[in-house]
Amino acid sequence: MTKPKLPGLAAGLKDKLIQQALERKLRQAAPAAQATAAARPASHRQAIAEEFYKFHLHPSYKQLRILNDGAARLGLQNPFFKLHEGTASDQTRIGGQTYINYSSYNYLGLSGDPAVNEAAKQAIDRYGTSVSASRLVSGERPIHRELELAIARLYGVDDAVTFVSGHATNVSTIGHLFGPRDLILHDELIHNSILQGIQLSGARRLPFPHNDWSTLDNLLDEQRHQFERVLIVLEGIYSMDGDYPDLPRFIELKRRHRCFLMVDEAHSLGVMGPQGQGIREHFNLDGGDVDIWMGTLSKTLAACGGYIAGESALVEHLKFLAPGFLYSVGMPPPVAAAALAALKRMHEVPARVHALQNRGKQFLVQARAAGIDTGTSEGLAVVPAIVGSSLKATRLSAQLFDQGINVQPILYPAVPEKAARLRFFISCTHTEDQIQQTIRKLKSLL
């Protein structure tokens, strides 16, 4: 809209006079607007239901209260938000007592490792506790690039970029790279962060049965030509079930159908492969076989955040344009330093990887021998005990806690009600005796 011309006045003064005139008009209009509102019938003013402006009436909160109140009437204590009083590994302290712990994904015992702790302390002394800005403007520190280049070397790819949240890594990456003219196909058991990213992107979403590359092939035959970009998303190890995909099969499909392939390695890094380098090492693949490698820093790497690794064009694109990176403060230096030190330690202590794999297999074999339903788990750090109802899973978790074992129930809607379970995270620091004791108690309670 063209501003009215006021000859003989400086540009700044013209703008000021125009602004004052607009403010006068707004002040004059305000009483009339108030009078109009007051003249409306009371029924119009009260037509908005309380549930639309009161948090305690929000439908999902009301559902939460129903579940919690129902559990209380059944004498069940809330199994969540237990207060751990120190480092959680194969053991933890809760309420002053020590428990065998299966509720932490400290797979290689690197959270609490002296070298990792020392690296974080030195980073605080050098850089402080925060970089106090987005990395793009003023938050870049050498420790960020050291970590990212180490991750890129791990995968044998050009580069990597780290985000301050693992969940936000998936949401921002998928939400930014794909759009309404694209298609995203994912395993039906994929993580919530992937689903949120797809929703943000506006892309068409098609799930396929768990680990079923054959059905995916048929879907691509039918759908690929209708879309521009197509993304296939898998996990390295599925966190609820403890199994993994036949990745070479999916790589062949993505090449034949000209798609992108993304693998979320949140639970497979440090767990799979002779040196713990993940599903790529397990199948002896080239880093370039997968377009987007994603992982988290909060599990094996004893820190917090997520990463994307791949070709330079992917990483540069995300660093300059992905909202979850661009508009977020840079990763705190002690967190980045801890992750980098943990990655170095993983390379230095392959015996921990072997111990983890042995303990996981031991747990799986003994659980199956005891008649416990472990689903499709491969015994690689995650083993479920499927009990068939949320109520039963909650009670069983409480009974084990009373006997000195801390394991969390996984309830509906996180899994289908008939698949409610206890989920055991195995660490390299668990002992054979701890596992035998756990299986024995679990069997007797079941």
What pLDDT does 6 receive? Answer: 46
What pLDDT does 75 receive? Answer: 82
Pair type for strands 405-406 and 97-101: parallel
What pLDDT does 3 receive? Answer: 45
What are the φ/ψ torsions at residue 132 (nearest 5 degrees)? 65, 25
Can the peptide bond before residue 41 be classed as cis, meaning omega within 30 degrees of 0? Answer: no
Can the peptide bond before residue 384 be classed as cis, meaning omega within 30 degrees of 0? Answer: no
CA neighbor of 108 nearest in space, from 333, 309, 343, 283: 343
**CA pair distance 10, 26, nearest whole angstrom:** 25
**CA pair distance 404, 399, nearest whole angstrom:** 9
**CA pair distance 169, 48, nearest whole angstrom:** 38
User: In the structure encoding, which two tokens stand for residue 433, read together?
Assistant: 């005796």
What pLDDT does 69 receive? Answer: 85
**CA pair distance 143, 193, nearest whole angstrom:** 26
Q: Please, which residues have CB within 8 angstroms of residue 316's CB and are 6 or more apart in sequence?
A: 159
- Show the low-confidence residues of the chain (pLDDT under 50): 1-7
Specify the pTM. Answer: 0.88
H/E element, 162 = strand 159-163
Contact 289, 309 (CB under 8 A): no
What pLDDT does 43 receive? Answer: 57
Which domains does the chain show, CATH number per domain? 79-108+350-445 (3.90.1150.10), 114-348 (3.40.640.10)
Contact 307, 151 (CB under 8 A): yes
Contact 108, 270 (CB under 8 A): yes
The angle at the Cα of 265, spanning 259 to 270, to the nearest 5 degrees, equals 145
**CA pair distance 10, 153, nearest whole angstrom:** 60
What pLDDT does 77 receive? Answer: 82
Q: Please, which residues have CB within 8 angstroms of residue 391's CB and are 6 or more apart in sequence?
A: 74, 76
What are the φ/ψ torsions at residue 296 (nearest 5 degrees)? -115, 160
Its sign, for the CA torsion 207, 212, 213, 216, is negative
What pLDDT does 72 receive? Answer: 83
Contact 250, 262 (CB under 8 A): no
